[in-house]
Amino acid sequence: MQWCNIVKREYDGQLKGHEPLQLLVNLYQHDLALLIEHFEEIVSTTKAYRESWGDQKSLPLLVNYHMVRIYSILEKTMVTLLLGGEIVKANRLIGAYFGIPDNELIPGTNCYIIPNHPNGVAFCLESNVIWVAANAFDEIPKITSISNKFLGATHMFTNLMDFQVDVPEREGVPDPNAAPKLEETLRSYFQFKEMLKVPHIDRCTGYYLSYGTQMAIQNIMALEIGFTLPLIHSFQAPLKKRTIREVYVWEGETILAEYERLGLEEIFSFFNIKVAYSSHHTAKQTDFLHNYSNPKYDLVWIICHGQYFHHEAHKSHLVLGSGFNLNIQDIPNAPTQDDGRRLLFIDACDGATTSLSNSPQSIGIGPAMIGRHQSLLSHGWPVDNHSSMIMGFLIAYFLCQGISYSEAHYNSIMTFRKGKDLIIQLLSQCIKNEDILDRIRNKDLAFDNFVYWGSPIYME
């Protein structure tokens, strides 16, 4: 690091843009004690770089690509902090880089998961790191290959010359036959039950996957540890969950959208929750935007098509109806109320999918709608119309029990996996429309197949 000291001493005033930050972290990133000693200087330098960009809301979405690319210079610093159990400091560094005020930042009660350390998987919590021994150099490429086959994706490793990427038959479309192998591979590699060794792990407030792409681990983790950990995306401390008293449903033009809307009306009405809805047949996009921005709704439910472009994520959008799309850059902010945080459920393909290193500025349709005032429940890949409708009914049913959003997610996943009989038993208490119930009874689904129960993601 001699060259860093020379540059810092003799050329500090000539450094531009991200260069002061890059120089600073290169000096200290390998030594936890030095990082802690110089941490405030690193944070202030990080904030200065962020502020040099101006107001994020006024910048074009394409700037996210650049910001996330530069964020990679903090990677080694983050790993050193995480492996040292310095979660509060890691959160502060992310907050500094992505412009999250300290008073809105999540507390240090979250867990970071590093899946690709040479020693294996690291579950990093404040003052506590749990290791799962594994040969990541061999296993991560295998997991990527299996995931590619399942998702119809083309993730690759530029530094592995012998890593083969097959051209998928249908890009971005999951293969149900490949789902069981992915589930078992992820379960075996991560060994999530090791997390139960952490005292009071049930008090953990969420997890963040410190890796370059998403991995479909949330629901497998929930199955192993007995509860859902929210997937952290915004790094903003969520406000208290609002009691669900009024719901707004947007009925798009999917095959089963009307049946889903009718079923939701019956479920919520059974529990004395008011429901308002708009249909793409008669409403306009302005009607959707007006109701989405209305602070009186405690839950907004969108049924529509989702179009996610993995190689050009900024072009992704929701197809609200024939002739009108909701593009990411046109998504309005959730209404800001001090009395709590509402839930947004997007029943659409890839509603929870993101790109760009899982950072707060990674680009995705649903993730662009997350903040301290709004959490998200949506799908991580293209979904079957019947399975997503059934899962939606279960989520609505459990939300009506007054439990947390993450508990509703967990109960819905576990109930779905148990199959049709239990699902009918629960839903028939609320839904009396036999046409809807018949669409569940008569649909032949492998309810225990990961392709169906692995897609719903709960994010904060």
* pTM reported for the whole predicted model: 0.94
pLDDT tens profile 420-434:
999 999 999 999 999
Mean pLDDT of the region 167-187: 91
pLDDT-derived band at 284, boundaries 50, 70, 90 = very high
**Which tokens go with 209?**
């996957």
Q: CATH number of the domain at 246-459, please?
A: 3.40.50
- Beta-carbon count within 10 A of 82 CB: 24
Q: With both helix axes pointing from N to C terminus, report the angle between 405-418 and 385-399 in degrees, rounded to the nearest 10.
A: 130
pLDDT tens profile 205-218:
999 999 988 899 99
pLDDT tens profile 323-377:
889 998 888 888 887 779 999 999 999 999 988 666 888 889 988 999 999 999 9
Residue 371 backbone dihedrals phi, psi, to 5 degrees: -170, -170
Strand 305-307 to 317-321 pairing: antiparallel
Listed residue (380, 360, 403) closest to 451, CA to CA: 380
For the chain, the structural domain boundaries read: 2-104, 128-225, 246-459
Q: 80 to each of 20, 75, 289, 450, how far by Cα in Å?
A: 20, 9, 44, 34
CA distance 85 to 129: 6
pLDDT-derived band at 404, boundaries 50, 70, 90 = very high
| pLDDT at site 56 | 66
| pLDDT at site 167 | 74
Q: What is the DSSP string of 273-290?
A: -EEEEEETTT--HHHHHH
